[in-house]
Amino acid sequence: ASHVQSICDTMEIPHLETRWDYRLRRESCLVNLYPHPTTLSKAYVDLVQAWGWKSFTIIYENNEGLVRLQELLKAHGPSEYPITVRQLGEGSDYRPPLKQIKNSAESHIVLDCSTDKIYNVLKQAQQIGMMSDYHSYLITSLDLHNVDLEEFKYGGTNITALRLVDPEKP
């Protein structure tokens, strides 16, 4: 990508990107259509505050997730209400961290993982009893609309994500 960007800058050809990038780059011919992580994180802060979540658990896949959620962590700051942070871990069995969350009785969860893992995480959460009307999930993936959530439709769980494009007004 940096080679392509260099060529585009040299030739003054516009270069469009649509991927997550934490760096704020100022190349003259680069336009990244993906929202900057700080902007998204501030939107998550606004949602969590609007919902009145005093405590919640962040489940993240890798360190990029912590970068994406840094404003949410900063906004909560030191408080009498805890934020618990759990990493999904390697492999495809997500039950161990989910069981820890269930045992803590936390019902507000921010899930930051790749889109291809969301279904499996939610399915395993359902298997251990964490997909009820008592639970709320904020999913940070902007591609949640590509995940089949049909199985979770009748559990009463609040599953929320942001979407940048209104499909009714393309």
Sign of the Cα torsion 94, 140, 167, 131 reads: positive
Residue 166, in any domain of the structure: no
Q: What is the pLDDT of residues 94-113, one digit of tens each?
A: 999 999 999 999 999 999 99
**Euclidean distance between CA atoms 45 and 135, whole angstroms:** 18
Q: Is the same domain home to 87 and 58?
A: yes
* Domain, as residue range, for 48: 37-161
Identify the pLDDT of residue 78: 75
- Domain with residue 141: its CATH number is 3.40.50.2300
Q: What is the pLDDT of residues 69-85, one digit of tens each?
A: 988 988 877 777 788 99
Residue 168, in any domain of the structure: no
Q: Is the same domain home to 79 and 147?
A: yes
Q: What is the pLDDT of residues 28-41, one digit of tens each?
A: 665 666 677 788 88
**Structural domains of the chain, count:** 2
* Residue 48 · residue 72 · CB < 8 Å: yes
- Phi first, then psi: give them for residue 13, nearest 5 degrees: -105, 130
Residue 169, in any domain of the structure: no
Inter-CA distances, 161 with 66, 95, 116, Å: 17, 22, 15
Q: What is the pLDDT of residues 147-164, one digit of tens each?
A: 999 999 988 999 999 988
The model carries a pTM of 0.83
